[in-house]
Structure 1
Amino acid sequence: MNISPSLTQTLHTAWQKKGLISTLLWPASWIARAFIARKRLRYQRDPGLAYHSRLPVIIVGNIYVGGTGKTPVVVALAQSLQARGWHPGVVSRGYGVQVGDKARTGQGQLDPALFGDEPALIAQATGCPVAVHPNRPLALKRLQRDYPQVDVVIADDGLQHLALGRDLEIVVQDGRGTGNGRVLPAGPLREPASRLEYVDVIITNTQPNEPAPKRLNTLARQLTMQLAPVSVTQLSTGTTLEWNAWRSAHGHRTVSAVAAIGQPERFFAMLAAAGLQLNQTVALPDHDRYDTSPFSALSDPNILITRKDAVKCLHFNDPRLWVVHAEPVFSDADWIDHIHEMLRVIAQQKSAMADKRPRH
């Protein structure tokens, strides 16, 4: 079910403080906390309940419900690992897609109707093989079978999917931090904020001039990132221009922007910070299917959209649509080198363990 951006914004605003609505819902949150704790204890007592791959597995997830910027981190991580000689594959739930009993795999240009918009974007941006299924272990097993060259797996989301064993956990949050600190429905958290004490890396996605949340008391490596536009592609022709060149050629004309992501206002703010004056902005529900064109009501000669939306808008064949390619700029440029070194150790350990297992 798609929730309107206005309702989503209202909920997130309410979840930033412990007001009357949050307090009334607090008993329900305690029930949710008890369920979460019971589930985690079950997996701790019986590690065999989780599927542990022979490959290193990295989770990129969040504890704050809704969009925090995981997908750009997955793309940047996959591309950086490729540059360091790894062959990553990606597993994802495939939000909004009816997959069936068997996981679905693919590489390159994928149909978002079959894989979901985010997996299709990740496959297109990285060239990595992708597997989708709500049951992440099924997706991972199919990925290993269909793409034996994969030597590290990145799970797009799935921090709370305990059936998938993991070796490293990366949490992506934004400037809202942990909100009012309460678990759903009294607050925005999928798990208690104490969960952040046990992850390996915490990345805070901030907007220009937005202060990062208070540094957490955890051993996790902590850094910030900001998304910045680097190029723009005309969707109907594939013509690509560097951002400054596009601004020089088209920025003087009226421009609108459309986004169907978790936090569309963040996309609009990024464009404004990059020097654009937007005539109109249209915020659609996250994962909107674009069954009908939202662009027909806009009269501007240029309309900017996200890469996540672009995989679903090609059929409109509208020359006014330009896809913004934004890349994260990290405050800690060495964090992926840190991940790379940890992966080398994990891969060696897993290989040694596999060699010790009896062969039948």
Structure 2
Amino acid sequence: MIERIWSGRSALYVLLLPLSLLYGLISNLLRLSYVWGWRQAWRAPVPVVVVGNLTAGGNGKTPVVIWLVQALQQRGLRVGVVSRGYGGKAVRYPLVLDPQTTTAEAGDEPVLIYQRTGAAVAVSPRRREAVEALLTSGQIDIVVTDDGLQHYALARDIEIVVVDGERRFGNGWWLPAGPMRERVGRLKSVTAVINNGGVTHTGELAMQLVPGPAVNLLTGEKCDAVTLDNVVAMAGIGHPPRFFNTLRQLGVSPVKEVAFADHQDYSAEALSSLAEPHQTLLMTEKDAVKARAFARANWWYLPVDAVLSEAEPLLARIQALNNG
């Protein structure tokens, strides 16, 4: 139902407009309080790059963070990543991730970023604390924040917004009548807009999520996803249909598709009930980081990588911050 409302296919959004107007008023006042100097943002001693979005739901932000971190690492920069750690609950904050950190402590996205990039990652509801923890724990040349576009208490040098190229901005209204955290006009003040799929608009960087081979959670074995038999597909991400569509584009025809809420917590019993022993349970990599501890032999995940065109000027601009 919420997808119908946010996409503009239902007029029920009108009932939620009073709440949306209140949300918009508060969010605008918060941002303007920093713009006009009523509040002072904290500036880190190293450059800060924010990767965020204007809408709620999955836009492909985490793959962009992974791409950016790896691209900057290839340029010789020591990158640290900070995150709110949504879905995790640590005993204390800030929490600097290590190989033993669980998704229950840090959240699924920080653990995924840590495993994929090897970068230093810290989580805290107050991103300043996460940045300070990274700077204390080791040498960091630049900080990338996973989300946090609306976290104005942390000053930033670069703002990158990821847009779902197919859904774009829905009906254009603030939450909860629409999907917007901020209105579309905010794009005029950001450094770069990355369009994930769909039609790329003027001034946007085109991006595609390219799937790799399927990986077995237990053994690490890899194979083409289309060779897996009797696939039961599951996804607990911001927009599960994107994953299911990717599978169909690869030639995989799942016998069942199961969508979970974003950041859904899983148990061995719940996931084991989805697929019979003769079937294959195929999930996203974000799901896999939460399920690996109790994985079964017939559980696989499909990693994806963000592939961007014409991103060299953006990367050069970010690198120049460190050189300067």
Is TM-score (shorter-chain normalized) higher than 0.5? yes
Deviations 1:251-293 (A, max 9, x none): 4x22111111111111111011011111111111111110343
Deviations 1:271-321 (A, max 9, x none): 110111111111111111103432323224322111111111123230001
Find the aligned partners of 1:156 and 1:184 in 2 and give their Cα distance: 21
Q: Secondary structure at the match of 1:35?
A: helix
Look up the match of 1:3. none
Find the aligned partners of 1:296 and 1:171 in 2 and give their Cα distance: 38
Cα pair 1:59 1:166 within 8 Å, conserved: yes
Find the aligned partners of 2:207 and 2:100 in 1 and give their Cα distance: 28
Q: Identity of aligned pairs, percent?
A: 38
1:212 correspondence with 2:202: no
Counterparts of 1:156-175 in structure 2 under 5 Å?
156-174=146-164, 175=166
CA deviation after TM superposition for structure 1 residue 110, in Å? 3.2
Look up the match of 1:286. 262
Find the aligned partners of 1:108 and 1:77 in 2 and give their Cα distance: 21
1:343 correspondence with 2:318: yes
Q: Which has the larger Rg?
A: 1
From 167, 177, 180, give the equivalent of 2:171: 180
Find the aligned partners of 2:110 and 2:38 in 1 and give their Cα distance: 29
RMSD: 1.9
Deviates more, 1:106-115 or 1:63-72: 106-115
- Distance verdict in 2 for CA 1:348–1:46, change over 3 Å: farther
1:85 correspondence with 2:76: yes
Q: What code does the residue aligned with 2:47 have?
A: P
Deviations 1:195-247 (A, max 9, x none): 111111111222xxxx426x26xxxx412322222122111112234x3xx53
Cα pair 2:97 2:111 within 8 Å, conserved: no
TM-score scaled by structure 1? 0.84
Look up the match of 1:317. 295
Q: What code does the residue aligned with 1:95 have?
A: Y
From 25, 40, 63, give the equivalent of 1:34: 25
The number of aligned residues is: 321
Look up the match of 2:244. 268
Q: Secondary structure at the match of 2:7?
A: coil
Deviates more, 1:222-231 or 1:102-111: 102-111
Q: Secondary structure at the match of 2:283?
A: strand
- Distance verdict in 2 for CA 1:48–1:345, change over 3 Å: farther
Q: Secondary structure at the match of 2:88?
A: coil
From 110, 117, 136, give the equivalent of 2:127: 136
Find the aligned partners of 2:272 and 2:242 in 1 and give their Cα distance: 20
Look up the match of 2:52. 61
Deviations 1:11-35 (A, max 9, x none): 1221122853222322332222221
Cα pair 2:65 2:144 within 8 Å, conserved: yes
For structure 2, the 5+ residue unaligned runs are none
Cα pair 2:5 2:11 within 8 Å, conserved: no
Find the aligned partners of 1:186 and 1:326 in 2 and give their Cα distance: 31
From 146, 153, 156, give the equivalent of 2:143: 153
Find the aligned partners of 1:11 and 1:297 in 2 and give their Cα distance: 25
1:298 correspondence with 2:272: no
TM-score scaled by structure 2? 0.93
Cα pair 2:274 2:281 within 8 Å, conserved: no
Find the aligned partners of 1:223 and 1:324 in 2 and give their Cα distance: 24
From 211, 218, 221, give the equivalent of 1:239: 221
CA deviation after TM superposition for structure 1 residue 91, in Å? 0.2
For structure 1, the 5+ residue unaligned runs are 1-9, 350-360
- Distance verdict in 2 for CA 1:297–1:22, change over 3 Å: closer
Q: What code does the residue aligned with 2:293 have?
A: H
